[in-house]
Amino acid sequence: MKNLFIIRSPLQVLNAYEAIAHFKLKNNIFLIVQNHLDKNNVQMKEMLSMCEYEELIEMPPSKSNYFRYVALTRKLKKHAYNFIFFGNLGSFQKLLLANLEYEKSYLFDDGAYTLEYHGELPGTKQYTSIRDIRFLLAGLSIKRKKPVAYFTIFDLERKGEEEIVLHSFYHLKKGMGDILTLNNNIYFLGQCFVSADVVSYEAYLHYIKIVKNDFKGEKIVYIPHRAETITTELKKLEDEHFKIFENTMPIEMYFISQKIKPKCVVSFYSTALFTLSKIFDKSIVKSYAICEQDLKAKRKEGALLVQYFLKKAGLEVGTVCFNQSQEASHV
């Protein structure tokens, strides 16, 4: 039997590598689902060489996916599977879980999605959207056959009899060996808070200034998120101690490829902090929480959920706040 990996992000490639080694998997099919963010697609493609697979299927972005989903589902139905891995449960993933023959399915980590899905994903009760119903016209099922298990670094609270396989990137770290060299820079991971409508641009710029001030006198390397825009105001913050470095690969892979063991990594509620704290367990990893009143309503619940897990993991060091009528504050 085969194993199917449905991959949509660079982090999911890392998790696929770890899952293949953890479960000792052979006969792997990689289904790469691309999006409209070129950096995301390039990073995924560059990382594929680290994984063992026998077949690669690529899905470029498209405005309409119905016929592609139907055709691919029928193609993949020709095989039986031990495991199916995926990072989010969209229409296509649900379609595959409803129609393929498999032993188990695992949701592996894709940032905050893992935490949100674990909170929302029902064990037996399933919800069907109008978009899902259209697949019935093609003679396909729309109800998944089995419960979803988890392959994760997060300390999730088990619900009922669900299976949670906890890992700490043991195999990835084992492959690194002792080749890394300690680097004394402060690596500051940027986030796409503004484009994702989490906080205002003014607030985010103030947060950056707060962190910069906290590490005054030390060399800070600011690494923007792949979906973050480098503005003129952000560029103006550069000086001899604060440099912007536009990285072309996931931060985890950048450190590994450059043989860097970071002394300290800081960010806000980036889930990259979880992976880095596992991979570089001797490094200092810090998170600045954002005060609740700064978070925009539609993103507040997800942000607070990630911040809860960061605090639970002991990675939170303080809170940054912003008020338009005042200077930014630091708690």
DSSP string, 271-296: THHHHHHHHTTTSEEEEEEE-GGGS-
The Cα 152–Cα 257 span in angstroms is: 23
Q: Please give the angle made by the CA atoms of 153, 155 and 160, to the nearest 5 degrees.
A: 115
Containing 82, the helix (H) or strand (E) segment is strand 80-86
The label of the residue with tokens 């037996």 reads 124
**Token pair recorded at residue 317:** 């060091």
Structural domains in the chain, sorted by start: 2-167 (3.40.50), 177-330 (3.40.50.11110)
CA-based nearest residue to 249, from 13, 4, 7: 13
The Cα 8–Cα 10 span in angstroms is: 7
Contact 86, 110 (CB under 8 A): no
Contact 87, 109 (CB under 8 A): yes
DSSP state of 133: H
- The neighbouring-strand residues paired with 108 are 151
Burial tier of 156 (Cβ tally within 10 Å: 0-12, 13-18, 19+): middle
Report the half-sphere exposure of 19 (CA within 13 A, side-chain side): 32
Contact 6, 34 (CB under 8 A): no
DSSP state of 235: H
Q: Please list the pLDDT of the chain residue by residue as tens digits (331 residues).
A: 999 999 999 899 999 999 999 999 999 999 999 988 888 888 888 899 999 999 999 999 888 889 999 999 999 999 999 999 999 888 899 999 999 999 999 999 988 888 888 877 655 566 677 778 889 989 999 888 898 999 999 999 998 889 999 999 999 988 887 778 889 999 999 999 998 899 999 999 999 999 999 999 999 999 999 888 899 999 999 999 999 999 878 899 899 889 999 999 999 988 899 999 999 988 999 999 999 999 998 889 888 988 989 998 899 888 999 975 344 455 5
The Cα 49–Cα 172 span in angstroms is: 14
